[in-house]
Amino acid sequence: MSQHLRHEKNCLNCGATVEDRYCSHCGQENIVVKESFGHLFRHFFEDVTHYDSKFFITIKDLAFKPGFLTKEYLSGRRASYLHPIRMYVFISFLYFLAAFTFKHSSHKLESITKERTAMAAKKEVADSLLQISQETGNKTPVDSIKSAALASAVSRLQLDTIHAKETEFNVIGNIDYKLLKEYHETQMALPIEKRDKGIKPWLYGRWFASIEEYGEAAVELLIEKTQHAIPKLMFLLLPLFALILKLFYDKKKYYYGDHAIFSLHFHSAAFLLFFVIAVLNKVVPAFASFLSSLELFVLIAYMTIALRNAYQQSLFVSLVKAIGLSVIYGLFIAAGFAIIALSALIM
């Protein structure tokens, strides 16, 4: 490709002197402005294969060499690997795309919504028939027969809707609807000043209102809203993980930015594991279930080795710190999930 290099030594982008193929000031290649299609294609191929080689090397080292990428990055060897932020965004995107694609709750939610719409339509028809039967009266024998037929139809429709409602509104997911209803009716019967105060009546009230409106779909709707908020939650928790790391290591030796790099690499590895499990769950459900049961153990083991390699401490010390990090970070994750679940319940 040397025949496409310019003979002039001035950079067309920044004007600096170019001693070699690339400008040492801005990095632009010193090539002729007008390129042939063949050169453009070769240039594109080189860029793609270069990116692909960086990508596969980075993924391989991320998966099989815990802590290695962090150590390389902090040592200044960065050009051969994907940038940690770019890698995290890409891998987390892959995982959430797979998770939402393979998830069937949306279809179930749609089915439940259709059933409730049909039940509401039946109730509406029953009410209309009841009104017609009342207006018809018993003027003639023919009217009496019509009225009896209408009354029979109304009874069947009403029984269908009542039975459907009782079946659907018994226990929804892990939520006892009857308990919610009894609590709500008891509270409504009391004077305002004697009603319960605090989180319990608010939570029960929100669940009751949600189930009254959506039925069984309320649980599915809450799950769906919560899952869609997880990517944002994890992006917020990522710097928090780095802050927790700062508590475990020498503040003079390591900066917050160093811990942030480790955090990006660890979360990328975690999402890579989740992605593999999601794909296997679609292809080989039995093996994916087995792997899911070991998920926490695998993550702690990976974190232990990553901490040992990145921070150069003993395996035992790294294990203790990995367990401590997992406990503290787990509490924040649980709190985060509770907050987004409550937010989804409000909306």
Output Rg (C-alpha) for the chain, integer angstroms.
Answer: 32
Share of the chain above pLDDT 70, in %: 61
For 218-229, how does the pLDDT look when each residue is reduced to its tens digit (9 = 90+)? 666 666 767 677
Pair 232, 337 in one domain? yes
How far apart are alpha carbons 304 and 12 in whole angstroms? 50
Sign of CA dihedral 332, 336, 337, 342: positive
Q: Would you state the pLDDT for residue 138? A: 47
Q: pLDDT category, 172, cuts 50, 70, 90?
A: very low
The β-bridge relationship of strands 175-176 and 171-172 is: antiparallel
Pair 30, 74 in one domain? no
Please compute the mean of the pLDDT values over residues 278-297 and round it to a whole number: 80
**CB half-sphere exposure, 319, CA atoms < 13 A:** 6
Note whether residue 180 is domain-resident. yes
Pair 299, 163 in one domain? no
Indicate if the pLDDT at residue 113 is higher than 60.
Answer: no
**Parent domain of 282:** 63-103+223-346
Note whether residue 331 is domain-resident. yes
For 315-347, how does the pLDDT look when each residue is reduced to its tens digit (9 = 90+)? 999 999 999 999 999 999 888 888 877 776 666
How far apart are alpha carbons 161 and 118 in whole angstroms? 9
Helix (H) or strand (E) holding 174: none
How far apart are alpha carbons 333 and 284 in whole angstroms? 29
Pair 117, 79 in one domain? no
Pair 189, 294 in one domain? no
How far apart are alpha carbons 221 and 111 in whole angstroms? 12
Return mean pLDDT, the chain: 75
How far apart are alpha carbons 142 and 58 in whole angstroms? 84
Single out the residue in 218, 242, 257 at which a domain terminates: 218
Q: Would you state the pLDDT for residue 332? A: 92
Sign of CA dihedral 87, 93, 98, 99: positive
Pair 287, 210 in one domain? no
How far apart are alpha carbons 280 and 271 in whole angstroms? 14
Please compute the mean of the pLDDT values over residues 275-281 and round it to a whole number: 85
Comparing 254 with 288, which gets the higher pLDDT? 254
How far apart are alpha carbons 250 and 323 in whole angstroms? 18
Q: pLDDT category, 246, cuts 50, 70, 90?
A: very high
Q: Residue 307 is encoded by which pair of tokens?
A: 């901490």
How far apart are alpha carbons 345 and 206 in whole angstroms? 7
Which range, of 150-159, 240-249, 278-287, averages the lowest pLDDT? 150-159
Pair 233, 333 in one domain? yes
Q: pLDDT category, 48, cuts 50, 70, 90?
A: low
Pair 68, 147 in one domain? no
Q: pLDDT category, 277, cuts 50, 70, 90?
A: confident
Indicate if the pLDDT at residue 119 is higher than 70.
Answer: no
How far apart are alpha carbons 73 and 147 in whole angstroms? 84
Q: Would you state the pLDDT for residue 65? A: 94
Note whether residue 116 is domain-resident. yes
Note whether residue 237 is domain-resident. yes
